[in-house]
Structure 1
Amino acid sequence: MAENSNRFQLGQAVDCQEVDVANKKEAYVMTDSQVKVTISPDGMGTEGTDVENISRETEKNKVFRESAEIQVVQTFESLDAAAQAITDFEESTTSNFIVLEKQKNFGNEGFRPSSKVSIHWHGPQVRNVCLLEYTGVPFIIAGRKVLCCHLGQDLCLPQKKRYIQATDQKKTADHGYIKSRKIIQSTKKMDCPAKIYVYHIIRYPDFQITRNTAWHKRMVSKKMNQEITKDNKVLHSYVVQFPKLSEHGNHPIAGELQVKRFWYHVRTQPVRRIYGPLQNLRNVFQRHTRPLILHGYWDNKTQS
């Protein structure tokens, strides 16, 4: 191989067959940052795409990667805005989250708390991150909603175990004929720990304090518990904590499958180069001999 075989120029198509094992990592870095390599439809070669669009897309992915590793906490004034932000987050990270937990009064803006409700001045703290800092305005938590990755924990394991036990008992009983099939993977769940936390916050600006002392907080909280059942001015908001991209576990994320498929084509391309023409020759032979077999050509030859 030539000395510059592992050096790629901007806009140059890369021949996967000339990339040896020692330079695969470098080849991937170059193709990801400069040239977007795709397998041609016939599976025999590679071709480059528009360099200008690729550079713009690469820069966008780089910014997204850097921002995805930041613990993002956002506050929204309505539940619809929070739901739209979660949808946008799923689309941008190519992920999917499902509801794991939802408390009773979450999203109920007509909620009337009792006099025994807990008054907060900061917090809550989730995964060592304080969602709301001290502003002098007291608030209560109306409810919480937790969304987990769709490849998270399997919550139906007890039901599955009971079903398996009941099926085994029916098989061992008399005249127990139950159709069964071999299940290689009983669930898609991969115990992914990634979660989205949404808190419904109700603020009371009429009870705002100007001095951050324990005595002022205690006195205002006591007064607030006595008057919280009355008609007070309230402000509803929803605080959302998004997970980092690295918090996903036990499954590929954000285009890792495309990278694995790319290297699968790179490793198997020499095999396809050798056996591809043989496969085409086999198809041509079958196409020309099938009419002879259907019309009994070989039978006539055998009888004669």
Structure 2
Amino acid sequence: MHGAANSPVFAICYCVLGVLGVPANLLAIIILSRGRCGLSRCITFYLVAIAVNDFLVIVIAVILNRIGGTYFRFSLLSTTPGCTVTSMLAYTTRDASVWLTVAFTIDRFVAICWQSLKTRYCTEKNAALIIGIICALSCVKNVPYFFIHEPLYILDGVPWFCGIKDSYYVLRIWQVYDWMDHILTPFLPFFLILLLNIFTVKHIISASRARKRLRGTENREDQEMANRRKSIILLFAISLSFLLLWVTYIGRFLHVRITGEGYFTGLDFNDPRYILQEMTNLLQLVSSCNNVFIYAVSQNKFREEVQKLMLFPYTRMASCLKK
């Protein structure tokens, strides 16, 4: 996520992502914060935290880092300190987004599959504590990124743009950190999300079969079973979305480590390494911004609240005219 120039195609993609992502996440924050979606306070805590963090991802990683580095080439953001800080913050918000998704998945796993622990674990207090710990650890984990960059060149004593130091690929301590960084995001989160979703889906299917046996030959529609089917679809959507949007990131990391070629820092927009690198960054950012839509937009009450919020100016105007 370095503030380098982008090809016209990727520049447009980042602009579209910024234009759509900012109002979408603000809308989600407003609606979820009002607490009218029929969700528990614990779930709402997680969803609001994810929405706020994804909003920061859009602002920092997309608008400041990618769009700023493309359209404002010689602004403060393009100096080495500027793009170093924005890159570090972009990695921090990315990690927090991924691990908040993991935390919410664990919370839903406990609520569905571990009823004896549900009343003690799935609480507002625990949710707030876990969210705070994730945000704090994400900040601490990414502090070393502040020290891996060097200027691409120095003009009149001012360092411009960010390149990765050669020592990052040579020194053992940086190699260990790079492996740990990628294990923590996204290898471990993906493994946890996939594993917990498998257990949760298995539990839902078993419970549904038991409920069918208890109901016997009754033909009435079972609303609870319908809700469980929606849960299965939702869980599979989470797993597949995370897999598809992060698979290029994992492949790129393994390619860099195996071949030792390093990350691409040139300006040839037609170079396959550049295309792969930018596609990886783009999909990674999309992944950080779709969590709220996967979890919340599928809820009928959330969609109703969106409609009410969209119609609010007109209903307010009509009310004033009547008065």
Give the TM interval when normalised to the shorter protein.
under 0.3
Q: Point out the structure with max Rg over C-alpha.
A: 1
Higher strand proportion, which one? 1
Normalising by structure 1, we get a TM-score of 0.26
Higher relative contact order (CA 8 A, sep 6+): 2
Normalising by structure 2, we get a TM-score of 0.25
